Structures are given as structure tokens and as C-alpha cells.
């Protein structure tokens, strides 16, 4: 009888949450906090062993007290789901790759300062450095035969001021004669990232872009996905933007370098938008790649193209598929391509039959299957990362025959099982033009519809950036709801995943239907009896920050408080100070001095409506943000102060468009919720 009672008590002490986690009893859980969020471990870069038995990946572990994160390498045995730690040093290891026979692992470590390539014996775990590149190594991969290593490193491509004035040692100056002069959070210098290869046993690296002043991969976010080995190991494909006006163009191309003849050719010449991310088919016939048609439009439809290596012909696959194509992997027989694609706020995995040009959806859970797509050498299994709004990425496998999905890692369950659940609702709201707006609604823990709750309207950035069912380490909707707020997160006009027209409709109309969509979703929720309509705030970053500034002068009294992070305030000064000019060229129609664009700059700029600002506002910015320069936030704060508003300014001197430093992020979150607590009554 005693054992039965103990069993009943155990059953009562656990519960299964909506995402499948077995959680502690409600009384033993606590509210999700900023400290919890920043303590979560982060998986990345999964690789499957040649024998299909073991996963290899990176795991980043944060330490809030020391304000550091260490990246270590781990393996997971697919037969037992047992994780093993490969590296445990004070340095960070990353970019790990299996040798062809699976007996060695190659990876990058910053043990010697700049990252270098290391070789590890998989059995003994002993390792040694095999590169000594002065400026360090990035984006490393092994050739198919295992005889060469591909990587990128920075090389000098032009004379610096220090070289010109070598007789002076203490001056500090930068000089430019063309655009761009900076990117994201870094000033342009006399170096460019070039693609190199070297023998795996060591030796002199060969720069396949020697004499080229351009970068590969593309700045600021391009990585190893923009480089590829041919199956025979004698050709290298890489992505670069070699145009006269890089600040005003997205015209990147894919180049093929023949290691035997030392020659390079452009296979996408005449295709004027982004062309990138080459992936060779295993049989060597094709190169699949991503392409965007319209030059200057970074949010154009991401298409899947096939390049015939024998004829040079290029064809578009899935032309009628009105979704963006994400990560791509080939089946071993080269007959099928597997890819991720987002639709209606979720990301799923699809297969494409090359012969028939027909796609099939493989996963259909209410999650995001958008990380680390890999395939087994026998073509029977896919490995992928899955997340949702309430849990961060873990790795899963799917048996392509039975369609059985298995969760393989549980790196954050130690914390997630202790947290209160929040309920998430997918709501469709009618827009002012009759269209339907997908809106995510999150409810606080232990929600009671007979009570009233304050509400946050979350305004997404981008402007072309979907609010999918994903987990964020910055603007975390789960965390917002956990603090006692209803969260309203509408996928307004301008979001990918709802057809390209829906995405395109925001360009040159920032203050139009997109704003109406956000207000329609807000009004829909405010009409509910459980929402305290007198205590609603609007928050957002980047374009979401623009939205906040716009709403402050045009919300007709809906919002009691506002929070803008790195928001666009003055379209004219934004045009003259941002770094990628193709973005405002497309979104605003061109420069502010062109007569055709006068109405956009006059009517759509939030600073024109400051006379109607009347509510408390918190403005946050990073001084290393070159995308939306911090002066935009300074202008807005000055306006709020001169208007006599209860306003606060939070500046991070060492952060860019994103707050990435652990303790800075803790301060950010606590100031964010402190401001809401001050101005919204619960």
C-alpha cells in the first residue's frame, strides 16, 4: 500500500507541458526570468558521422557571473542518446567536421589567439594544431577525399593609412573614397575575407581570390553555407558580390574555381539579385543554390535554382511554390532535395523530387524545424533542429521511411521542467481591407479569464521578418507572458511565409496597411473581457522600433506606454547614416532628394508626428549599431524630453543592433520589464 501511495504522489508531482516536456508539479515551478533565459545552453552546427551512428555538434554554455560563454564540442550516440563531451577547455571550440573514415575530428579553436584548425583523434581525444594562419581561420570544411581543407581568412587588399604614414605611430584615423565605409558594427579596413585551401597535413594556404578586393562570404552574416566542394574535390564554389556599387546592390554571384587550371568563372552572371549558398549534388551533375530575382531587394522571394554543370543551363525549381526555400541537402542518389520552408508562422521540412519538380511536406508539427538540416549517408534519416516559442532548439531525427521523429538532445530540460507554462493561441484577425492576419496570443501562467491583465503588443522588426513559433534569446514572447502580460504578436503585412505579395506590400508603405494590421490585432484583443484596455503597451526593435515611434504619434490613445529598441525615427537622416543603402533605396523608393520619393519621406517618417506624442517611452540603443545608427534613438529621446514626457534612454556603448553580452542582456531585460511595471498596472 505504501508503494502505491508513493507512486500516486510521484504522479501528482509531475505534469506534461504543451511542448511534451515532463514538468514538475505546478507548486514546484517558478516564473521564467531574464536570468533563466540567459542561462540556457545553445546548440549549433550538427554533423552526422560517416557511419550514421553519432551526432557531432557545438554546445555553448553561458556563465552569468563571469559574463562569458564557452563553446565546447559534444557527441551523441544515436543508439543510446548518450551525450559525451569532447572538449573542455577555457577556450572555445567550434566548426567541427568528421574525417572521411570517422576516425578524426577537425575543428577550430582559439587556443593560440586567432582561431586555427585542430585535428583530434576520435579514440584518444588527443589533438594538435595543423594551421598557423596569421589572421585566423573561419568557415572550415574538408574536401570529399579528405586531402584538403577549405577555409576563409582576411588578407590585405589595399594600402592602409598606417602604411602610408609609417613614420607616425600614434595617430588614429580612417580614410575612404567609396561606399560602403562600414558594415553592421565594423568599420571597413584594408582587408577582405578570401577563400583559401591547404593540404590537410599542413602547408602553405592557397588564396583562390588573390588580387580580388571583395569578400567571401558576404558581409555581415554569410558563413560556410556560401562555400562548397565539388564531389570530385577539384572545384570550389563560393559566393561574392563583385560589383561597382556594393552599398546599393544585392547582386552577388556564385563563382567556380578550378584547382587544376587555377581559373574562375561566374555561373550566375546576368542574374541581378542575391545568388548564393551553392550545394553540389553527390553525382556531380548539379549545383543547387538560392537566388533572389530583384536587385536591391533583400527580402525578395528566395528561389531554388539548379545549375547543370555539363551545359551551364540554370532552371528554377518550384516556381509556383509561394514560399521561401531555406537550407538545402541532397539525397545520396541525387534524386531528391530536402529543404526547410516557412509557412504561416511555422517552419517545416519538405522534399523535392528533381525529376517531377514536385514537393512533399515531411514534418507538420506546431514547431519550427529550421536548424541544422543533415542527411545520413544511406539517405534514410534526416537530422534537424526543432524549437518552439516555449523551448529552445534541440536536435531530432526523422526516419524517412516510417516518418518516425525522435528527440535526441535535452540540453535545457534541467531548467525548462521547473518553469510555469504559458498557453499560446493562434488567432486569425480580420484586417481593415478584409484580409486575415495571423496573430500569436500568449497568456500568463495560471491564466484566469475572469480577471483583467495588462497587454503587450509586440511589433516585429525586419520589416520582412516573420513572427514564427520560434524561441528567441532577445525578444522572448514566453518571457513576456511569464511576467503576467497578455502578449499580442501579429504577423502584419511584410512578413515572409504568407505569400510574396503579402511580404511585398510593406515596401514604400511603412505607415500604411502594416500599421493598420497591428492596430486591428490590438483592437481584437482589447475587446476581450480579460484584457485591461487601459494598460496596453507597444514594444519593438528596428522596424518594430519605427512602429513604436509611429504609434506614439498615431495610435489614437490605445497605448499607455512604449518601448523602442534601435528604432528608425527620421527617414531622411536614416538614409544618410545607414550602411546598406540598397535597403532604403528599395523600401523608400530611393534617396530623399529625388522628387519622386518626397511623399514617402514627408508622410512616413515618425519624427513628423512628434507634436502628437503624449505617452511614456523607453528608448534603447547600441552605439555600435551601424544599421540603424544610435543617433536615431538620440533624436527620438531628445524629442520626448522636450515634449516633457516621462521618457528614459538606455544606451549600450559596446553593443550593436542586438544586445549580445550576457550581463548587458540581463540589464536590458530588467530595464524593459521595470519600465512596463512602472507604467502598466496589473
Q: Exposed/middle/buried for 171, CB within 10 Å: 0-12, 13-18, 19+? A: exposed
Of the candidates 327, 288, 372, the residue with the CA atom closest to the CA atom of residue 42 = 372
Kindly give the pairing relationship between strand 42-48 and strand 253-258.
unpaired
Of the candidates 478, 626, 621, 494, the residue with the CA atom closest to the CA atom of residue 549 = 621
Report residue 307 as a C-alpha cell. 545549375
Tell me, rounded to whole angstroms, the distance of Cα 630 from its chain centroid.
Answer: 22
Neighbours of 451 (CB within 10 A): 12
What is the rounded CA–CA span in Å between residue 425 and residue 422?
10
Inter-residue contact 506 to 498 (CB < 8 Å): no
Taking only Cα atoms into account, the Rg of the chain, rounded to an integer number of angstroms, comes to 26
Neighbours of 399 (CB within 10 A): 13
- Coil, strand or helix: which one is 606? helix
Largest CA distance in the chain: 90
| Count of helix runs (H) and strand runs (E) in the chain | 13, 40
What is the rounded CA–CA span in Å between residue 192 and residue 108?
20
Residues paired with 531 in a beta bridge:
453
> Which one from 625, 633, 647, 679 is the annotated catalytic residue?
625
Query: Rounded to 5 degrees, what are φ and ψ at 632?
Result: -60, -45
Contacts of 117 (CB under 8 A, 6+ apart): 106, 107, 108, 129, 130, 131, 137, 140, 149, 151
What is the rounded CA–CA span in Å between residue 461 and residue 545?
7
What is the rounded CA–CA span in Å between residue 21 and residue 15?
8
* DSSP annotation string for 133-179: -TT--EEEEE-TTSSEEEEEEEEE-S--HHHHTTT--S------SSS
What is the rounded CA–CA span in Å between residue 82 and residue 76?
5
- Coil, strand or helix: which one is 21? coil
Tell me, rounded to whole angstroms, the distance of Cα 491 from its chain centroid.
Answer: 17
Query: Apex CA 177: angle with CA 176 and CA 179, to 5°?
Result: 85
Contacts of 624 (CB under 8 A, 6+ apart): 185, 653, 654, 655, 656
Answer yes or no: 194 catalytic: no
> Which one from 49, 542, 564, 605 is the annotated catalytic residue?
542
Report residue 600 as a C-alpha cell. 514617402
Neighbours of 143 (CB within 10 A): 21
Answer yes or no: 625 catalytic: yes
Can you list the alpha helix ranges (DSSP code H) found in 432-512? 477-482, 500-504
What is the rounded CA–CA span in Å between residue 290 and residue 226?
10
Answer yes or no: 542 catalytic: yes
- Coil, strand or helix: which one is 538? strand
Report residue 462 as a C-alpha cell. 525586419
What is the rounded CA–CA span in Å between residue 432 and residue 524?
12
Neighbours of 658 (CB within 10 A): 20
- Coil, strand or helix: which one is 348? strand
What is the rounded CA–CA span in Å between residue 294 and residue 273?
5
* DSSP annotation string for 566-581: S----HHHHHHH-S-T
Q: Which residues are catalytic?
A: 542, 625, 657
Amino acid at each position: 500500500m505504501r508503494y502505491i501511495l508513493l507512486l500516486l504522489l510521484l504522479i501528482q508531482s509531475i505534469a506534461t507541458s504543451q511542448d511534451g516536456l515532463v514538468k514538475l508539479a505546478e507548486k514546484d515551478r517558478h516564473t521564467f526570468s531574464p536570468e533563466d533565459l540567459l542561462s540556457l545552453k545553445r546548440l549549433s552546427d550538427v554533423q552526422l558521422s560517416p557511419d550514421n551512428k553519432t551526432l557531432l555538434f557545438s554546445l555553448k554554455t553561458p556563465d552569468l557571473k563571469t559574463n562569458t560563454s564557452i563553446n565546447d564540442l559534444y557527441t551523441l550516440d544515436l543508439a543510446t542518446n548518450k551525450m559525451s563531451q569532447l572538449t573542455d577547455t577555457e577556450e572555445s571550440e567550434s566548426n567541427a567536421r568528421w574525417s572521411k573514415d570517422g576516425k578524426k575530428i577537425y575543428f577550430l579553436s582559439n587556443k593560440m589567439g586567432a582561431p586555427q584548425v585542430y585535428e583530434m583523434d576520435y579514440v584518444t581525444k588527443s589533438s594538435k594544431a595543423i594551421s598557423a594562419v596569421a589572421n585566423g581561420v573561419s568557415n572550415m570544411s574538408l574536401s570529399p577525399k579528405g586531402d584538403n581543407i577549405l577555409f576563409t581568412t582576411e588578407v590585405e587588399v589595399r594600402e592602409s593609412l598606417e602604411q602610408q604614414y609609417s613614420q607616425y605611430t600614434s595617430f588614429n584615423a580612417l580614410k575612404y573614397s567609396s561606399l560602403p565605409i562600414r558594415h553592421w558594427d565594423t568599420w571597413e579596413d584594408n582587408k577582405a575575407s578570401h577563400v583559401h585551401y591547404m593540404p590537410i597535413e599542413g602547408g602553405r594556404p592557397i588564396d583562390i581570390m588573390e588580387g580580388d578586393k571583395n569578400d567571401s562570404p558576404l558581409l555581415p552574416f554569410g558563413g560556410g553555407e556560401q562555400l562548397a566542394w565539388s564531389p570530385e574535390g577539384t572545384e570550389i564554389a563560393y559566393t561574392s558580390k563583385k560589383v561597382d556599387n556594393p552599398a546599393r546592390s544585392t547582386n552577388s554571384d556564385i563563382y567556380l574555381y578550378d584547382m587544376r587550371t587555377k581559373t574562375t568563372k561566374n555561373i550566375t552572371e546576368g542574374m541581378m539579385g542575391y545568388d548564393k549558398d551553392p550545394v553540389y549534388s553527390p553525382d556531380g551533375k548539379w549545383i543547387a543554390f538560392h537566388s533572389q530575382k530583384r536587385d536591391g531587394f533583400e527580402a525578395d522571394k528566395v528561389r531554388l535554382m539548379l545549375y547543370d554543370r555539363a551545359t551551364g543551363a540554370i532552371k528554377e525549381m518550384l516556381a509556383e511554390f509561394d514560399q521561401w526555400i531555406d537550407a538545402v541537402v541532397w539525397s545520396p542518389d541525387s534524386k531528391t532535395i530536402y529543404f526547410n520552408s516557412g509557412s504561416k508562422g511555422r517552419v517545416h521540412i519538405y522534399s523535392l523530387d528533381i525529376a517531377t519538380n514536385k514537393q512533399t511536406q515531411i514534418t507538420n508539427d506546431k514547431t519550427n524545424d529550421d536548424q541544422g538540416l543533415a542527411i545520413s549517408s544511406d539517405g534514410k534519416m534526416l537530422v534537424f533542429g526543432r524549437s518552439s516559442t516555449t523551448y529552445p532548439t534541440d536536435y531530432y531525427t526523422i526516419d524517412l521511411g516510417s516518418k518516425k521523429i525522435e528527440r535526441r538532445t535535452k540540453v535545457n530540460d534541467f531548467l525548462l521542467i521547473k518553469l510555469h507554462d504559458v498557453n499560446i493561441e493562434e488567432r486569425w484577425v480580420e484586417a481593415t481591407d478584409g484580409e486575415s492576419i495571423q496573430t500569436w496570443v500568449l497568456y500568463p501562467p495560471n491564466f484566469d479569464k475572469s480577471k483583467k491583465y495588462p497587454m503587450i503588443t509586440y511589433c516585429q522588426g525586419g520589416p520582412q521578418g516573420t513572427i514564427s513559433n520560434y524561441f528567441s534569446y532577445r525578444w522572448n514572447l514566453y518571457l513576456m507572458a511569464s511576467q503576467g502580460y497578455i502578449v499580442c504578436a501579429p504577423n502584419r503585412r511584410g512578413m515572409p511565409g504568407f505569400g510574396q505579395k503579402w511580404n511585398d506590400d510593406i515596401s514604400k508603405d511603412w505607415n500604411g496597411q502594416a500599421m493598420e494590421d497591428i492596430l486591428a490585432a490590438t483592437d481584437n484583443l482589447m475587446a476581450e473581457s480579460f484584457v485591461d484596455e487601459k494598460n496596453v503597451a507597444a514594444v519593438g526593435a528596428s522596424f518594430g522600433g519605427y512602429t513604436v515611434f509611429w504609434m506614439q504619434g498615431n495610435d489614437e490613445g490605445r497605448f499607455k506606454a512604449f518601448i523602442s529598441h534601435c528604432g528608425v525615427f527620421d527617414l531622411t537622416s536614416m538614409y544618410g547614416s545607414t550602411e546598406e543603402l540598397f535597403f532604403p533605396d528599395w523600401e523608400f523608393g530611393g534617396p530623399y532628394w529625388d522628387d519622386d520619393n518626397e511623399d514617402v519621406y514627408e508622410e512616413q517618417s515618425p519624427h513628423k508626428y512628434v507634436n502628437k506624442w503624449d505617452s511614456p517611452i523607453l528608448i534603447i540603443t547600441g552605439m555600435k549599431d551601424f544599421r540603424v545608427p544610435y543617433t536615431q534613438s538620440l533624436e527620438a529621446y531628445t524629442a520626448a524630453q522636450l515634449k516633457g514626457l516621462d521618457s528614459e534612454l538606455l544606451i549600450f556603448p559596446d553593443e550593436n543592433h542586438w544586445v549580445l553580452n550576457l550581463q548587458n542582456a540581463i540589464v536590458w531585460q530588467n530595464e524593459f520589464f521595470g519600465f512596463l511595471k512602472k507604467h502598466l498596472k496589473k
